[in-house]
Amino acid sequence: MKPKILVSREVFPEVIEHLAGHFEIDYHAEDAALPPAELAARLAGKAGAITMLTDRIDDSALAGAGGLKAVCNVAVGYNNFDLAALSRAGVLATNTPGVLDDTTADTVWALLMASARRVVAADRWVRAGRWQRWKFNDDWLGQDVHHATLGILGMGRIGQAVAKRAAGFAMRVIYHNRQTLPGEVERACNARWVSKEALLHEADFVVLMLPYSPAVHHLVGAVELAAMKPTAHLINVARGGIVDDDALIAALRERRIAGAGLDVFENEPALDARFFELDNVTLTPHIGSSSRATRLAMAMCAADNLIAALHGRRPPNLLNP
């Protein structure tokens, strides 16, 4: 008899076919998260689950799931997991690192350039029929990306992919991690370690690439935003909770920073409506990894983690060894 698993949300048919070779699947084939009580109920009696970042896996989700052996997230971020609760319950947890680095780095650049050159606001203005004549010293003067300083807070795999793309723009790249990277990695990224304070002070583009944990909650607040240049842009494709939205909205409103490109929000998808009134913020709906090829690779990676775990092998991307 095949082990029973839950797939908590709609994925591509290829992924279901791949899993079906190994498991009996309870498939919630809808593009909406299961309410917490239903998620808990459907985890009961399952050996494993494929989950999304919208599924909170904690003590209450696990309460009735005595036979559960592995939960495999289709995301590199796993702040939807209470890892301690999963470990206490003896459940293996996995994520999908690596396969989304380039796509997410591309999204960072899309937001960075859109914010610097005010692409989305200009598009709205043109569509509103407000373009009457071409002007030289126009209202759309933006910031140069080329030869600017790129500051990356959180220089993991995705941060490094972002840094490598900066070479084409002849940028100076600085980064901050708790620890410096090995020299060969710094050279490959053409990046130099600086303190967080120096990064905020010197960067024309501050890119947040940290994994979320309570330790980095509101890491960027009023003090950090005040340390940034008035011409600088903040780009967040990591997790919303890293930024204090109140402080960011005030800084954008008062033009204490030039702009922001945001793909993630603290209470997404319920955004603070004050963002909508600002013309110096570019907003996207958590699409960092959203190309078909990458989302497929992520789901296949999660499937392979689950197949390994339920066949008694160590899953490649185990989070709680």
**Nearest distance, CB of residue 300 and ligand DGY, angstroms:** 14
**φ, ψ for residue 38, nearest 5 deg:** -70, -35
Structure tokens at 235: 């780009």
Closest approach, Cβ 212 to ligand DGY, in A, equals 9
Q: Does 288 bind ligand DGY (CB under 6 A)?
A: yes
Per CB under 6 A, which region of 72-80, 138-146, 172-180, 244-252 contacts ligand DGY?
A: 72-80
**Among 94, 289, 305, 317, which residue interacts with ligand DGY (rule: CB under 6 A)?**
289
- Cα–Cα–Cα angle for 302, 288, 162, rounded to 5 degrees: 105
Please, what is the minimum distance in Å from the beta carbon of residue 76 to ligand DGY?
4
Catalytic residue among 10, 218, 268, 274: 268
147, 286, 295, 313: which one is catalytic?
286
77 contacts ligand DGY (rule: CB under 6 A): yes
Site stretch for ligand DGY (CB under 6 A), options 6-14, 73-81, 133-141, 220-228: 73-81
Q: 239 an active-site residue?
A: yes
DSSP 139-192: TT-----TT-EEEEES-SHHHHHHHHHGGGGT-EEEEE-SSPPPHHHHHHHTEE
Q: Measure CA of the first residue to CA of the last residue in the chain; give whole Å.
A: 28
Q: Does 92 bind ligand DGY (CB under 6 A)?
A: no
Determine the interface stretch with ligand DGY among 19-27, 69-77, 117-125, 155-163 (rule: CB under 6 A). 69-77
Q: Is 75 in the site for ligand DGY (CB under 6 A)?
A: yes
What residue is closest to ligand DGY based on CB?
Answer: 77
Residue labelled with tokens 């913020």: 281
Retrieve residue 22's tokens: 């190994």
Q: Which is nearer to ligand DGY, 216 or 251 (CB)?
A: 216
> Of 208, 93, 76, 230, which is closest to residue 152 (Cα–Cα)?
208
255 included as an active-site residue = no
Q: Does 76 bind ligand DGY (CB under 6 A)?
A: yes
Residue among 297, 320, 310, 285 at smallest CA distance from 54: 285
Cβ at position 236, least distance to ligand DGY in Å: 11
- Does 100 contact ligand DGY by CB under 6 A? yes
Q: Which stretch binds ligand DGY (CB under 6 A): 75-83, 132-140, 153-161, 179-187?
A: 75-83
Distance CA 292, CA 298 (A): 10
In the complex, minimum distance from the CB of residue 74 to ligand DGY, in angstroms, rounded to a whole number = 8
Q: Which is nearer to ligand DGY, 143 or 289 (CB)?
A: 289
- Which residue in 239, 255, 266, 292 is the catalytic one? 239
Q: Is 94 exposed, middle or buried (0-12, 13-18, 19+ CB in 10 A)?
A: buried
Q: Give the total of residues touching ligand DGY (CB under 6 A).
A: 7
Q: Which 3 state secondary structure label does DSSP give 126? A: helix
CB of 171 closer than 8 Å to CB of 178? no
Closer Cβ to ligand DGY, 83 or 194, answer by number: 83
Residue type (1 letter), 190 = N
Contact between 50 and ligand DGY per CB under 6 A: no
Tell me the CA distances in angstroms from 87 to 75, 274, 301, one per residue in order.
19, 40, 21
**Nearest-angstrom CA–CA distance, 302 and 317:** 9
Residue closer to ligand DGY by CB (options 7, 121) is 7
Can you give the binding site for ligand DGY, defined by CB under 6 A? 53, 75-77, 100, 288-289
**Catalytic site residues?**
239, 268, 286
